[in-house]
Amino acid sequence: MKKKIIFSTIFILFLGLFFLWQMIYLPKNPFSEKEVIFNIEKGQGSKEIAINLEKQGLIKWTPFFRFYVYQKGVSGKLQAGMYQLFPSMNIPQIVEKFIKGDVISEKITIIEGWNLRDIGWYFEGRGMFQAEELFELVGFPLIDYSKTTDLPKPKDFSQKYDFLKDKPKNLNLEGYLFPDTYKLNKGSSVEDVVEKTLENFDKKLTLDLREEIKNQKKTIFEIITMASLIEKEVKTKEDKEVVSGILWKRLKNNIPLQVDATIIYLTGKKTTKIPLEDLQIDSPYNTYKDKGLPLGPICNPGLDSIKAAIYPKNSEYWYYLSTPEGETIFSKTLEEHNIAKAKYLW
């Protein structure tokens, strides 16, 4: 009798363990090729995750997922994000994905010289979010927030990023969304994307570069503004250094910069020929009418342009122009410059 009881107990225990093994290690549907996009929101615990997995047909029963996670001691390691799952996956495979944070990702590329409008339209075209969402977060292009109450003020990121502390509070983040290729989690918010670009800027503007800016008694904001002009005006590293020297020299001698790219930024026109009436636009971004740097950056410059702004090359030149083919022509005098314009642009 005792042997029968022991045998029955062992048999029941075996059946229980086999049932538990089946529920955990055998997939809900081993032959299914159906893809399921599963989202874990920030703050969700194993209970909510398990319930949603069962609802979406990915596991057989909620308690077994929770038992496995508890037994492995990983309930606090399940990462938020959007995942690509299949009913042919078992619970350990699903949990491993959640622990690794193996979320669906996509690549975006911000091109050197893009301004906020370009970036906003790019994100909108990718179906990530509306351009206006970006502008509401980082500031609308060309807006001086000290002179308007009609728009919500952009978020102040300067508490988190020291390099923004000398940026005027009344301006947007133009110039600071560092151009690069980024890998993003699918479903990333506009703020997630902006923070990635700011973190990248923080890394690229090294301590040595910041120390050099400080030694020159300039601000990061001034350097980025100058770099944005250089970025839009010329292409090669060598030309950028020479143009940087010319522009800083003109500033020092109280000569208007007369940078065509600032007019194009104002009008939004894609042209190499600036109409005379556009040169008369009353704006702190018009470097033909106003002396000094424009109110703020006109695009988001790359590292070569930033370094050129920090390390300008001295030369005898005071003028330059870019031909339609992209060649930079430098001139020492206004007469030489006018001859070059007649030859290459008219």
Domain range summary for the chain, segments of one domain joined by +: 2-103, 107-204, 217-344
Pairing assessment for the beta strands 81-85 and 105-109 based on DSSP bridges: unpaired
d(CA 326, CA 324): 5
Q: Which residue has the tokens 């032959």?
A: 31
User: What's the CA gap between 243 and 259, in Å, rounded?
Assistant: 11
Identify residue 252 by its one-letter amino acid code.
Answer: K
Query: Per-residue pLDDT for the chain (346 aa), expressed as one digit of tens each?
Result: 665 666 556 656 655 555 555 667 788 888 888 889 899 988 899 899 999 999 999 988 888 899 989 988 998 899 988 898 999 999 899 999 999 988 888 899 999 999 999 999 999 998 899 999 999 999 999 999 988 778 888 999 999 999 999 999 999 999 999 999 998 888 789 999 999 999 999 999 999 999 999 999 999 999 999 999 999 999 999 999 999 999 999 999 999 999 999 999 999 887 767 888 989 999 999 999 999 999 999 999 999 999 999 999 999 999 999 888 889 999 999 999 999 888 877 7
Contact 84, 64 (CB under 8 A): no
Q: Note whether 314 and 252 are within 8 A (CB).
A: no
Phi, psi of 253 (to 5 degrees): -100, 15
**Distance from C-alpha of 86 to C-alpha of 93, rounded to nearest angstrom:** 10
Q: What CATH number matches the domain at 2-103, 3.30.1490.480, 3.20.20.70, 3.20.20.60, 3.50.30.50? A: 3.30.1490.480
Q: pTM of the entire structure?
A: 0.80
Q: Under a CB-based contact definition with an 8 Å cutoff, are residues 311 and 213 in contact? A: no
Task: For residue 151, give the nearest of 180, 172, 166 by alpha carbon.
Answer: 172
